[in-house]
Amino acid sequence: MRIGVVTFPGSLDDRDAGRAIRLAGGEPVALWHGDHDLQGVEGIVLPGGFSYGDYLRAGAIAARSPIMTEVVDAANRGLPVLGICNGFQMLTEAHLLPGGLIRNEKGSFVCRDQTLRVESSSTQWTSAFTEGEEIVIPLKNGEGGFIADTETVARLEGEGRVAFRYLGYNPNGSVRDIAGIANERGNVVGLMPHPEHAVEPGFGPDTRAAMRSGVDGLRIFRSALEGVLAA
């Protein structure tokens, strides 16, 4: 199952995302922001980083890259698209997801292992979870405060499109502790925390069982892979 990972100028976690796809059982395909070619992939990850140095607004310039024309088309056709951190910011800037992300409430960059509650298992990137399940994956951002107008937030909540919620601690002042959301169809998901950093024992967050053994991020990638196989 081939999943594309787009590299933009300033992407940092594109290789980690590719590695996560491989560990989840898929085949990562490197895609380039300046191309108009998705190379026939069956899913797309927009990785984290600081594309264009966060100039203008985080993700704003990358969201208008050549390849984003194809990404938007593919998303509208129902292809699974995941935006992680800077990728989430791009998805809002490309209007594939509602709302926006602003500087953290306390003004500082936050890096921590973050507990999340999986609020919906009906998206293409969360189908391998049980609703209400608690997971721990790393979070690292300076502009992760999710905001949207009251009407949009009510619609996201009402339609079950809040995919992940911060649990115990809201690191960036996101409205209603929202960590990740989905589009109406459930194929496009964006989240600020980094599932690709919790995919391999020895390199993930600490768990009660052992240090750095957390691999909760793996199932996000498995969800899409299993969904594509089942389709």
Catalytic residue set = 85, 194, 196
Which of positions 61-80 make contact with another protein (CB under 8 A)? 64
Of the ranges 119-127, 144-152, 154-162, 184-192, which one interacts with another protein (CB under 8 A)?
144-152
Per DSSP, the three-state class of 84 is strand
Q: Least distance (Å) from another protein to the CB of residue 90?
A: 12
Distance of alpha carbon 195 from alpha carbon 16, whole angstroms: 10
Distance of alpha carbon 67 from alpha carbon 64, whole angstroms: 8
Q: Which is nearer to another protein, 64 or 185 (CB)?
A: 64
Q: Which is nearer to another protein, 160 or 173 (CB)?
A: 173
Any idea what DSSP says for residue 10? T
Of the ranges 30-38, 57-65, 205-213, 220-228, which one interacts with another protein (CB under 8 A)?
57-65
Retrieve residue 100's tokens.
Answer: 């926006």
Q: Least distance (Å) from another protein to the CB of residue 225?
A: 32
Q: Rule CB under 8 A: choose which of 92, 114, 187, 223 binds another protein.
A: 92
Q: Rule CB under 8 A: choose which of 30, 56, 154, 211 binds another protein.
A: 56
Size of the site for another protein (CB under 8 A): 19
Which of positions 98-137 make contact with another protein (CB under 8 A)? 98-100, 102-107
Sign of CA dihedral 23, 29, 30, 34: negative
User: Element (H or E) spanning 5, and its range?
Assistant: strand 2-7
Distance of alpha carbon 73 from alpha carbon 70, whole angstroms: 5
Strand segments (E) across 9-76: 27-32, 43-46
Q: Least distance (Å) from another protein to the CB of residue 55?
A: 11
Is 57 an interacting residue with respect to another protein (CB under 8 A)? Answer: yes
Query: Which distant-in-sequence residues (6+ apart) come within 8 Å of 126 by Cβ?
Result: 118, 120, 163, 164, 182, 189, 220, 223
Interacting residue ranges for another protein, rule: CB under 8 A? 56-57, 60, 64, 92-93, 98-100, 102-107, 147-149, 173
